[in-house]
Structure formats: structure tokens, C-alpha cells
Amino acid sequence: MVQTILSRLATSLLVIFGASVLVYCIMYLLPGDPVLLMLDPSSATPEMIENLRVQLGLDQPFYIQFANYFGDMLRGDFGKSMINSDPVLPKILEHFPATLALTALSSIIAITIGITLGVLSAIHRNGVIDFVARLVGLFGISMPTFWTGILLILLFSVQLGWFPAMGSDGFSSLVLPAATLGLVGAGFIVRMVRNSMLEVINEPFIVALRAKGLSERAIMYGHALRNALIPAVTVIGMLIGDLLAGTVVVETVFSRQGIGRIIADALMAKDLPMVQGVVFFTSIIYVVLNLLVDISYSYIDPRVRRAVRT
């Protein structure tokens, strides 16, 4: 088991490094000069521009810039913003709790709706509940998050006035953004749980349990559901990471302060240290989530646990 975790951890470190290299290359190749964004082009002299470029290390070759920056990040120094000189890591840590709350609530919504509708859809196959569940799944997968967010704002904020449309003040301002992300996640979970339940229901051990006289409720919720959730665990773990990435769009639509909004603003300003710092930080979280899913998977499924031991 320890060897498996170490192997996963080594792979995770490669993923973090690859993500950092990819984002750095993309930001490096984007048109525009960050130095000109920091200075007033109408009053800046060529000497001022060149001095600032040297001060920021932008006059050095690409590989030297990347080596210096990645080495600083490994030491915990994420640098300073090119636009306002704010330290990157404290700014990320300041806004991360808002993004974490959004991701946590949206995950709860997605898992609750997804598993409930997925199970009911499989049990009542081709019925009204099945139709509603499949419709929710299709809606969640097909609709872009920004469009779903706008629809929720129009309905629950503009028309009904139940929740604020924008801002980060209190739990009420968190409901609509979390519902936007949660509906997207629920769409994937509904389809996965429904398909898994339908496969398990047709397994021979379900027939054997019915022959022993167990009630249909005990069979469905005590045995079929447990086995159907095994493949869904991996999807749910990866989905939480996807919901974290989806905060970039949702926080922009709802004008929430979080790391998603930070990276959106930094991309517009070509603020390389801020973009790279957020990507490095979130990639670590994403990798840790997947590592925890891999570990939990071996405890949920005895077959995986026996395979690891052998």
C-alpha cells in the first residue's frame, strides 16, 4: 500500500511540474508586454522600460526565467504581482477560503442531487422519475456554467428576489454560484450512478439476494447501491477538482472574490507570477484530491485492496 501511494505521489509531482511548464509557456507566448501594462506608455521612456524589464528578469532567455521562477516556487516564494507588486501567495491564501466554500457547497449539491436521482432513475427505469433524472443529467452536462448562472440570476434574483445576484457577503450570496456549479456536477454523477446501478441490478448476486427473501429496499440500498458507488467514487473525486477549476467562470459571472476571479483578472493583465502561482497552488490541491480518491478506492473496493497487497 505504501509503495502504491509513493508511486502515485511521484506521478502527481510530474503532473504539477507539467502544468506549471504548460501555463508558463502559454503566458510567455501570449502577445503583449507586461512591462507596458505596469508603466504609462505615454510617459515611459525606453530607458525606464528597459530598466524595469531587467529588474523583473524579463531580459533573460526563457529557460532561465522559468528555472528561476520554478525554483522560487519550490521554496515557497511565489513572487510578486507584476501589476501592483502584491505578494502572490498571501493574496491567494486570502481569497482561497471563499473559493473553498464555493467548491465545498457545490460538491455537496452535486453529490446529493446526482446520487439521489441516479439511484431513483435506475430503480424506476423508464418512468417519470427516470425521465426527470435523465433531463437533469442532460441539462447539467450540456449547459455552459455562465449560461446556467445567468438563468439562475434572472429567476431567483431578478424575478423572485430570494438571493443576491452578485457579491461575497454571507451564505445567501453563495447559494446561486454553488447551485450553478452543482447542477453541472450533478449531471455527470446522475449518468454515472444510473448506469452503474443498472449494471449491478442485473448481476447474479442480486438474483440470489431476492431468492433469499430480502426486501427490495434492502437489496437496492444495502447491496446494489454500495457496489454501484465504487466506480462513481473516482468520478466524484475528479469532479471536485473540476468544480474548483470551474470557479474561474462562476466567480466572474457572480462578481465573487476568490482565486478564480484572481486568475481571470491576472490573465487579462498578463500577470505571469499571479497566474503561475494560482495554477501551481490549485494543481497541488487537484493532485491531493486525486491521491485521496485513489487511497479511498482501495478501502471501498476489496478487490482493489487485495490486488494492492499482492
Does residue 281 lie within any of the structural domains? yes
Q: How far apart are CA 56 and CA 240, in angstroms?
A: 36
Does residue 83 lie within any of the structural domains? no
Q: Are residues 97 and 67 in the same domain?
A: no
Q: Are residues 51 and 151 in the same domain?
A: no
30 is written with which cell numbers? 501570449
Tell me what pLDDT residue 33 has: 65
**CB neighbour list of residue 197: distance below 8 Å, 6 or more residues apart:** 118, 119, 121, 122, 123, 224, 225, 228
Tell me what pLDDT residue 36 has: 66
Q: How far apart are CA 83 and CA 79, in angstroms?
A: 12
Question: Which of 21, 41, 74 is a domain's end point?
Answer: 74
Q: Are residues 68 and 105 in the same domain?
A: no
Does residue 301 lie within any of the structural domains? yes
Does residue 158 lie within any of the structural domains? yes
Does residue 84 lie within any of the structural domains? no
Q: How far apart are CA 70 and CA 38, in angstroms?
A: 23
> Backbone dihedral region of 277: left (phi > 0), alpha (psi from -120 to 50 degrees) or beta?
alpha
Q: Are residues 68 and 96 in the same domain?
A: no
What residues in the chain have per-residue pLDDT under 70? 1-5, 27, 30-44, 49, 56, 222, 296-310
**Count of domains observed in the chain:** 2
| CATH classification at residue 112 | 1.10.3720.10
Tell me what pLDDT residue 186 has: 83
Residue pointed to by grid coordinates 430503480: 123
Q: Are residues 138 and 46 in the same domain?
A: no
Q: How far apart are CA 22 and CA 19, in angstroms?
A: 5
Q: Are residues 144 and 19 in the same domain?
A: no
For 30, the domain range is 2-74
Q: Are residues 156 and 51 in the same domain?
A: no
Does residue 82 lie within any of the structural domains? no
Q: Are residues 14 and 133 in the same domain?
A: no
Does residue 79 lie within any of the structural domains? no
Q: How far apart are CA 262 and CA 72, in angstroms?
A: 21
Q: Are residues 211 and 293 in the same domain?
A: yes
Question: Which of 17, 47, 74 is a domain's end point?
Answer: 74
Q: How far apart are CA 183 and CA 113, in angstroms?
A: 8
Q: Are residues 124 and 62 in the same domain?
A: no
Does residue 202 lie within any of the structural domains? yes
Partners of residue 80 on adjacent β-strands: 87
pLDDT tens, position by position, 133-143: 888 888 877 77
| 3-state SS assignment for residue 169 | coil
Q: Are residues 28 and 95 in the same domain?
A: no
Question: Which of 21, 48, 74 is a domain's end point?
Answer: 74
Q: Are residues 242 and 93 in the same domain?
A: yes
